[in-house]
Amino acid sequence: MDKGMHDGHRNRLKRRFLEEGMEQFEPHNVLELLLFYSIPRQDTNETAHRLIEAPGERGVPGSLSAVFDASVEDLMKVEGVGMNTAILIKLVPAVNRRYLEDRALRGMRAVSSEACGELLVSKFNGVTVERVLLLCMNNQGRVLHCVSISEGTQSMVDINNRRIVEAALRHNASCVVLGHNHPNGVAVPSRTDVETTCMLARLLRSMDIWLYDHIIVADGEYFSMARCNKFEAIFS
Identify the band that residue 18 occupies on the pLDDT scale cut at 50, 70 and 90. Answer: very high
Q: What is the mean pLDDT of residues 66-73?
A: 91
Mean pLDDT of 176-180: 95
If one compares 154 and 65, the residue with the highest pLDDT of the two is 65
Whether the pLDDT of residue 154 is over 70: the answer is no
pLDDT at 2: 52
Q: What 8-state DSSP symbol labels residue 235?
A: G
For residue 167, what are the CA distances in angstroms to 87, 161, 164, 192? 31, 10, 5, 22
Q: What is the pLDDT of residue 206?
A: 94
Please classify residue 2 by burial: count the beta carbons closer than 10 Å to its beta carbon, then call 0-12 exposed, 13-18 middle and 19+ buried: exposed
pLDDT at 112: 84
Environment class of 233 (CB within 10 Å of its CB; exposed 0-12, middle 13-18, buried 19+): exposed
Determine contact, residues 186/220, Cβ cutoff 8 Å.
no
Q: Please determine, for residue 40, whether its predicted confidence score (pLDDT) is greater than 80.
A: yes
The mean pLDDT of the chain is 87
Neighbouring-strand partners of residue 134: 147, 178
pLDDT at 209 over 90: yes
pLDDT band at residue 139, thresholds of 50, 70 and 90?
confident
Tell me how far apart the alpha carbons of residues 27 and 115 are, in angstroms, rounded to a whole number: 32
E-strand stretches of the chain: 131-137, 143-151, 175-181, 210-218, 221-224
Among 83-97, 121-135, 150-164, the range scoring the smallest mean pLDDT is 150-164
Residue 3: pLDDT above 80? Answer: no
